[in-house]
Amino acid sequence: MLSPDTPVVLLQHHGLDNLGGKTGLALLRYRRGPVVAVIDPDHAGEDLERLTGIRRAVPVVGSMREALPLLPAAALADPIPGGAPGAVAVVGLAPSGGRLSAELHADLVVGLEAGLSVASGLHSRLGDDPQLAALLRPGRWIWDLRREPDDLVVGSARAAALAPRRLLAVGSDMSVGKMSACLELQAAALRAGLDARFVATGQAGILIAGRGLALDAVRVDYAAGAVEQAVLHAAEGAGPDALLLVEGQGSICHPGSTATLPLLRGSQPTDLLLVHRAGQTTIRNQPQIPLPPIDRLIAALEAMVALARPSAAAAPPARVVAIALNTGHLAPEQAEAALEAMVALSGLPCHDPVRDGGESLLADLRHGWASAAG
């Protein structure tokens, strides 16, 4: 529903400098289409790159009323002329409980009155808000990403028969960079002329890709089947040389996460990419929960992915083929030392694709695949 050329106003209220705004920060980093303004009253007038480290020239303003003049006039016209894409207010926040603040609600009212559509990944469904729904102009919409897909089915391992490679990102914790690693790999693969397709499974990924599956909105009995359908859809028309990059969610190490198992079952991966934050030894928000040693985590993941596979599957069970190490909190020399230490510890290729780009990681993956095939 969000086309690549749609102008976006990003609502980032009090979330431009913290993980509460990770959805919008990811969109700023990876969306190729236009982002005309970011709304955050805490940082109005500040330089986006200096504040976030994201190399993108987007003005930061304090309210929707300040953002509206920055939009193309045609995007707010009624009706929208010449098939223009209109404009969309995107909620870039992932607050605890997924609730809409009064301040953000007020800016959405202003945006809808002006003729914007709205996209939101909050648990609170904005389309069910009678005040917001009443303000929609003809041809505009409110897109609540966190909805179950239609025609849900129970998983049946159908993705195992697909021709393309299927790389699933799995994390040692939540919010370690699973989506970012996949998107950096996709960008590197596309630059190399490969057919690389990103399978979004969370709100930020859906906003960046324009489509996907909000896995955390699906009832658990149907979660594997929903992943399976998303992977099958992404693979349509793809040949054996294509690469499907499946966005991971959650972690088997986190006591509150249930996402990894349906992703393993539904995607039937050929490869696993382990994503870990350098130096992290406990669950970030629950420090009483220790992380296992990397070798034990790898063994557990590989044991899980070997189950629930068709007996006729030609390929061997997936292995962890590389580690994407999040070193964003480290100085360059510390990051280099952390990468070297992880290679020595795991015996696997290890790169930070966000810091350094996905080319080196992709090269190591392709070398490993070629060696296995030869």
Q: Structural domains in the chain?
A: 8-144 (3.40.50.720), 158-373 (3.40.50.300)
Residues 186, 247 contacting (CB under 8 angstroms): no
Cα 177 to its chain centre, rounded Å, is: 9
Which of 70, 62, 29 is CA-nearest to residue 46? 62
Residues 6+ apart with CB under 8 A from 186: 196, 197, 198, 245, 358
What string of pLDDT tens digits covers the 374 residues of the chain?
778 889 999 999 999 988 788 899 999 999 988 999 999 999 999 999 999 999 999 999 999 999 999 998 888 887 776 666 689 999 999 766 567 788 999 999 999 999 999 999 888 889 999 999 999 998 899 999 988 888 899 999 999 999 999 999 999 999 999 999 999 999 999 999 999 999 999 999 999 998 899 999 999 999 999 999 999 999 999 999 999 999 999 999 999 999 999 999 999 999 999 999 999 999 999 999 999 999 999 999 999 999 999 986 667 889 999 999 999 999 999 999 999 999 999 999 999 999 999 999 999 999 999 988 76
What pairs with residue 9 in β-bridges? 37, 89
